[in-house]
Amino acid sequence: MIIKNVGFVYFLFTLFFSAKAISVDSIFKAPVGSIYSLEYNPTYTGANVLKLKLSNVPDKSCATLATQLAGQYFEVLVNNQYVPFTPPASGTTWNRNTVVADKTAALCKSGKDNTIVVNHFVYPKTYALYQSGGDIVHSSGGSAEKENLIKVSYEIYRKTMQTRENHQLSIK
């Protein structure tokens, strides 16, 4: 499903990269000639995953950009290969590991024919709508529509978290 609403895409893009894209290092200035696309990633069924694809990335920008993105986002692929990380501290540690920069550079081809894909799990902010015991916070009017929306949002969140955990265990 490709997102067609330009305003919504801009909002998602700024939300997705927050201040990082506008920061001093300006990581998106290098591949000026690149083609950008933003869509939902259908690979992760039931989860809320955005896929940012950068095509025609020059080799001079590829390794630096991929390394920076991999250090900030859940999953980064260069030319259909995962950006390599050092092993986790233990078998169950899933905090962001260290990117292996020299191996990342080896994934980039010479010329302007590199593709970088960033997959980012978007978590709906549903936690504020629940009490500490897990019960739904009811609206004062008892709106059934609101409660249904909360349940649907929480289910997307739950599936997203479960999908992410299963995916991380599978590429261990």
> Which comes out higher in pLDDT, residue 149 or 155?
155
Whole-number pLDDT of residue 126: 47
pTM score of the predicted model = 0.55
All structural domains of the chain with their residue ranges:
24-171
Q: List phi, psi (to 5°) of 28.
A: -100, 10
Fold of 24-171: TcpA-like pilin (3.30.1690)
Q: What is the mean pLDDT of the chain?
A: 67
Could you read off the pLDDT of 59-115 as tens digits, one per residue?
888 888 888 888 777 788 899 888 876 655 555 544 455 677 788 888 999 988 899
The confidence score (pLDDT) of residue 93 equals 47
Q: What percent of the chain has pLDDT over 90?
A: 5
